[in-house]
Structure 1
Amino acid sequence: MLHTLRLFLLGVHFLVAGAVNMLIVLRRPFDPDNSRLCGRVYSLPALRFLGLQTELQVDELKKLTSPCVIVVNHQSNYDLFILGSVVPRRTVTIGKTSLRWIPIFGQIYWLAGNVLIERGNAAKAKAAMLKTTDTLQHQDTSIWVFVEGTRNLGKGLLPFKKGAFQMAIAAGVPIVPICCSNYKRTMRLNRWHSGNLRIRALPPISTLGMTLDDMPALMERCRGQMVACIDALDATPQ
């Protein structure tokens, strides 16, 4: 019963939050700070509906004074509600072009200034990559990337995609890993206290002086740090 009620409230909230966020993005279309505002509208009430006890360790995000590439583990569609509250200022995400056609949400996502990539078209994907490099270097805007490229369903980190690291090296900006504990595996929405959620931002990893030849080592270093961090978050006593 509680599980059903929570899903109902979450659905209603999604519609109401969509209406509020549509007003935000229509008033200031393509503003790079829209994602932060919209993320909070989606996330903060939803965390209460879900009954999750949250612990945020994101001081590294608050210290950011220049653009970076933020890489995050991706567990499920709940990530919109789980991670929306920690999106830093002037940060946009990268998503598939097809997202634009999801009613209401897709139009909000597009008008929020996020970067849409047509993955099946190499030329358009390359053009979008060049656009993100310009964004990082000249528009005081960071890029948020779900670095696995798809949902891992709480089964551990999947292999990383190269795009985030290519962008960071090309623009000469740091990588900032964000790790979220494995809520997908432990969340029980039929309980009043449905689970614990821990999110931690790690120190930036510099890419200055790196070339694409350094990318495999950079990816391995980042993945190793994230695996260790997620394991530590999951091992924390409940």
Structure 2
Amino acid sequence: MLSLIRVPLALLYFVVVAIIGNFLLIFRPFNPDNTRVFGRIYSWGGTRILGIKLNISGLENIAHMPPSVVIANHQDNLDLYICGAAVPERTVSVGKKSLLYIPGFGLLYWLAGNVLIDRSSSKNSKATLNATTEALTKGNRSIWVFPEGTRNHGNNLLPFKKGAFRMAIEAGAPIVPICVSRYAGQLDFNKWISGTVEIEILEPVSTAGMTFKDTDRLMDECWHKMKEKIDQLDKKALLIQ
């Protein structure tokens, strides 16, 4: 019964924040901190409406962080409410161009300064790499990427795509992994506390001196680090439930 109230309220909150955000961002479009601000707003209200408890550790790893490539596991549409609490300062995300067509939110996403990509074209992929590299090196911004490329729905961590790692190597930027315990399919919105989600921000992985030949090695290193940590966070979350 509680879920019948919570889910519509969460959707309403999503829409209301987008509408108000579109108006506010007219006065500060493409500011590099817009994504962090609205990530916090979405997370603050969304988790409270849905009864999700967040435990975040490793925040010291993003304090005074240089321009970096931030990678996180991608589970569900609720990532907006859950991962939004961990977005570092001056960080924009890379998302599919189709996000533009979500009423209200698409405009907010664009005005927040996020990077939209068209995966159907290799030419556009190269342009995206150039744009994100310039944002890292000249724009003093960090880039948030879901390297799996699609939602894993709370199942095993999917294989990573190379884009985020090529981007980091090209810019000479560190990679900051953010690990989220598996929550998709685990939350019960009929309970007052629907569940606990553990988030841990790992220490940066340096790309200094690397070339594109190191992409696979770097990608595998980050995948195994994240997989190990996510498994640990899952056990921790189960103990708290």
Shorter chain as denominator, the TM-score bin is over 0.9
Q: Which residue of 1 aligns with 2:225?
A: 225
Task: Report the number of matched residues.
Answer: 238
Deviation sequence 1:29-57 (CA, Å, 0-9, x none): 11111101111121101111111121111
Matches within 5 A, 1:83-98: 83-98=83-98
Deviation sequence 1:124-156 (CA, Å, 0-9, x none): 221111011111011110000011000000001
Q: Does residue 166 in structure 1 map to residue 162 in structure 2?
A: no
Q: Which residue of 1 aligns with 2:27?
A: 27
Residue range with higher mean Cα deviation, 54-63 or 196-205: 54-63
Q: Which residue of 1 aligns with 2:7?
A: 7
- Counterpart secondary structure, 2:176: strand
Deviation sequence 1:42-89 (CA, Å, 0-9, x none): 110111111112111132443243100000000000101111121111
Cα distance in structure 2, aligned partners of 1:94 and 1:80: 13
Stretches of 4+ aligned residues off by more than 3 angstroms: none
Per the TM alignment, residue 97 of structure 1 is displaced from its structure 2 partner at its CA by 1.3
Matches within 5 A, 1:76-225: 76-225=76-225
- Counterpart secondary structure, 1:183: coil
- Counterpart secondary structure, 1:119: coil
Cα distance in structure 2, aligned partners of 1:20 and 1:40: 15
Q: Normalized against structure 2, the TM-score is what?
A: 0.96
Unaligned runs of 5+ in 1: none
- Counterpart secondary structure, 2:10: helix
Unaligned runs of 5+ in 2: none
Q: Which residue of 1 aligns with 2:235?
A: 235
Deviation sequence 1:158-177 (CA, Å, 0-9, x none): 00010000000000010000
Deviation sequence 1:3-46 (CA, Å, 0-9, x none): 11110110221122112221332111111111011111211011
CA RMSD in angstroms comes to 1.1
Cα distance in structure 1, aligned partners of 2:211 and 2:62: 28
Cα distance in structure 2, aligned partners of 1:228 and 1:44: 28
Cα contact 1:22–1:108 (8 A) shared by 2: yes
Deviation sequence 1:156-198 (CA, Å, 0-9, x none): 1000010000000000010000000001132111111111111
Cα distance in structure 1, aligned partners of 2:162 and 2:31: 27
Cα distance in structure 2, aligned partners of 1:4 and 1:163: 39
